[in-house]
Amino acid sequence: MQTLRGADIVARTLEALGVTRIFTLSGNHIMPVFDALLETGIALVHTRHEAACVHMADAWARLTGEVGVALVTGGQGHTNGAAALTTAQAAESPVLLLSGHAGLSELGRGAFQELAQADIARPMTKAAWTAGSVAALAPDLARAFRIAREGRPGPVHLSLPVDLLEKAVPAAAVRIPDRAAAEIRSAAPAPELIADLLAALDGAERPLVVCGPALCDAAGRAAMAALEETLGLPVVSMESPRGIADPALGAFAEILARTDLLVLLGKPLDFTLRFGAAPALAPDARFAVIDPDPALLARAPADRLAVSGLADPRPVLAALTARGAGRPRRDAWHREARAALAHRPPGWAALRGGAGRLHPVELCRAVDAFLENHPDGTLICDGGEIGQWPQALVRTGRRLINGVSGTIGASIPFAIAAALERPGAPVVAVLGDGTFGFHMAEFDTAVRYGIPFIAVVGNDARWNAEHQIQLRSYGPDRTRHCDLLPTRYDAVVQALGGFGALVTEAADLPAALEAAHASGLPACLNVMIASVPAPVIRRPG
C-alpha cells in the first residue's frame, strides 16, 4: 500500500498552490519537509538567519502578489523568524511562516524546543495556529494562503508538529487541494457605495485620496494613476513610517492640511496621518473611509464621516475609475497638489560632504543616474536616516522600503529576493552601516546561489537616527553610545566571495556602481558619508 508522510502532503500541497520558491533555514523539526521537497519543483533558498527568510518571503510577496513562504524550525528558529513578521504585517504583505514544532505526542512533557509558537506569532499575524492532525495539513495550508491574501493582506503562521510530518498515512486517503481551495473572496463594491463616494468627491473643493501599503505594488500604483487621470484630483499612496513627513511625498503635509475631504482607501487612520487631528488635518475636514477591516472604519470621527463602507480597495479603485469619467474635475487643486508632492528644496543641489565623505545627496545622485541607465532595476531603501534620502531623490519604477513598521535591517534579504524575482535586472539597496550589521551573513547566501545585487552602504560610523534624537532632545554634550567603527564592510563582502569597493569621493561612485554591476557578484560599495539628519521638506512661506 502506498503511503504519504505528513511532510509529503505539505510539500505537494505547497506545489499545488503555486509555490515555486521557499526561503528557509534548516533545523531538526523541518528536515522531513526538506526531504519531501526533493520530489517537487520547488526551489529552496537556504539562508543564514531565520528573520532573513521572512524578510525574503516578504519582498517576494510584495513584488509578485503571491504568498511568500518562509520555512523555519521550531523553538528559537521560530522566534527568530517571527520577529520579522512585524515588518510584513505593517506592510500588509501576504507571508506564510511555516515553523517546525515539537511533536503533539510530547507536548507538556518537556519536549525538545517546546514553545507556544502560535501564541508568540499571533500578535504579528492575521491568524496563527498549530496543525492538529495529518488530515488537517493540506486544508490548513489552503486556508493559510487564503487568509494571507484576503481582505487586508498580511502574514499568517502555521506550526507543523514534527510527529505529524513523520507520520505515514494511506495515499488514497489524501486529497491535495488545488489553487481553487485557496481562492480569495473579493466581492465587487456595492453600487451605492461607489455612488456615495463619487457624490462626496463632487461636493468637495479640495479632495485627496490616500491609499495604503497593500496598493503600493505595480498593479496598485497603476490603478491609482488611472483614477487620478480620470477624476483630475490627487491620489497618493503612503507606506512610510515618516507618514506625512515622508520625503518621498515632498510637501505632502501642506496638501493634507488644506484638504476638505480625505478619502482613505485601505489606508488606516493612524500615526502616519497624525490620527487625523489638527493641525495635520483641518478640524472641519471630512472623511470617507473604505476598508475591508470593520475595526478601522470606526477610527474616523463619526461627526465628520461623509462615507464609510466595508470593501476591498482594489475593486473600489477600479469602480471609481470606471464610473468617474465626465464628473467635475479639480484641475487647479490637482496641479497644486502635484507641485507640492514633487517639491524638493533647490538648495539640495549644492549640498556636498566634507573631506573623504559624501553628502547623502551626492550618493543618491549617482544611484539615480545608475538606475536611469537601467530602467528595469529595483531600488531598496533601508535604515533610519540614510534610507530617507533615496526615497526622496532616486526615481525608479520599482522600489521596496522597510515600511510602516519602521524596523530596519531587511534590505539585504529584500535585495536577494528582488534579484531572484527579476533575474538579470540590477538591484540597488541603499542602507546604513548600522543596518548592514543585521544580515551581513546573507552575502554568503547570495554568493552560494549566485545572486547579484549592489548594497550601497552609507557609512557614517554611527546609529545616526538615534544620534539625531540625542542631538535634538538632549543636546550635543549628551550624545553617547551611538557610535560605531568606520568598518570596511566592502572587505567583509570580499572575504565572503563578493565584490567590494571603498568610495570616499563623489566622482568615484558612478564608476564603482557600474563595476559592481559588471562583476556579476553580490556587491558592497562602502560609501563614507557625512553624518546628517534625514531630509525634511518644507516650502518657504
pLDDT in tens, the chain (541 residues): 699 999 999 999 999 999 999 999 999 999 999 999 999 999 999 999 999 999 999 999 999 999 999 999 999 999 999 999 999 999 999 999 999 999 988 888 887 888 899 999 999 999 999 999 999 999 999 999 999 999 999 999 999 999 999 999 998 888 999 898 889 887 779 999 999 999 999 999 999 999 999 999 989 999 999 999 999 999 999 999 999 999 999 999 999 999 999 999 999 999 999 999 999 999 999 999 999 999 999 999 999 999 999 999 999 999 999 998 888 889 999 999 999 999 999 999 999 998 899 999 999 999 999 999 999 999 999 988 999 999 999 999 899 999 999 999 999 999 999 999 999 999 999 999 999 999 999 999 999 999 999 999 999 999 999 999 999 999 999 999 999 999 999 999 999 999 999 999 999 999 999 999 999 999 999 999 999 999 988 877 6
DSSP letters for 490-535: HHHHHHTTSEEEEE-SGGGHHHHHHHHHHHTS-EEEEEEB---PPP
Residue 37 cell numbers, joined: 521537497
Give the bridge partners for 130, in sequence order.
159
Give the model's pLDDT for residue 188: 79
All domains of the chain, ordered by start, with CATH? 3-182 (3.40.50.970), 191-342 (3.40.50.1220), 346-528 (3.40.50.970)
DSSP β-ladder status, 21-24 and 68-72: parallel
Strand duo 427-432 + 168-170: pairing: unpaired
**Cα maximum dimension of the chain:** 81
What CA–CA distances, in Å, run from 168 to 112, 163, 402, 488? 22, 10, 42, 52
- pTM for the complete prediction? 0.96
- For the beta sheet containing 399-401, the strands, ordered from the edge strand earlier in sequence to the opposite edge, are 399-401, 378-381, 427-432, 454-459, 523-528, 499-503
Q: Round to whole Å and give the CA distance between 381 and 391.
A: 7
Q: What are phi and psi of 45, to 5 degrees?
A: -115, 110
Residue 541 pLDDT: 65
Cell digits for 102? 515539537
- Beta strands 95-101 and 68-72, pairing class: parallel
How far is Cα 270 from Cα 300, in angstroms, rounded to an integer? 10
Q: Cα torsion for 389, 421, 64, 182, to the nearest 10°?
A: -140
Instruction: Output the pLDDT for position 537.
Output: 86
CB 149 within 8 A of CB 100: no
Is-contact 420 99, C-beta < 8 A?
no
CA 355 to the chain's CA centroid: 36
> Distance between CA 211 and CA 221 in Å, rounded?
9
Do residues 271 and 210 lie in contact, with contact meaning Cβ atoms separated by under 8 Å? Answer: no
Distance CA 114, CA 75 (A): 6
Question: What span, in angstroms and rounded, lies between the C-alpha atoms of 87 and 438?
Answer: 14
Kind of pairing between the strands at 286-291 and 305-310: parallel
How many CB atoms neighbour CB 127 within 10 A? 16
Residues counted in the chain: 541
Q: How far apart are CA 62 and CA 149, in angstroms?
A: 11
Residue 110: predicted pLDDT: 81
Q: Are 127 and 193 in contact (CB under 8 A)?
A: no
Bridge partner list, 399: 379
CA distances from 345 to 30, 172, 270, 333 (A): 53, 68, 28, 21
- Return d(Cα 287, Cα 280) in angstroms, integer: 14
In 28-109, which ranges are continuous DSSP H helix? 31-37, 50-64, 76-83, 85-90
CB 55 within 8 A of CB 89: no
Which amino acid does the sequence have at 447? V
DSSP assignment of 353-420: --TT-B-HHHHHHHHHHHHHH-TT-EEEE-SSSTTHHHHHH---S-EEE--TT-----HHHHHHHHHH
| Residues sharing a CB contact under 8 Å with residue 470, sequence separation 6 or more, in sequence order | 478, 479, 480, 482
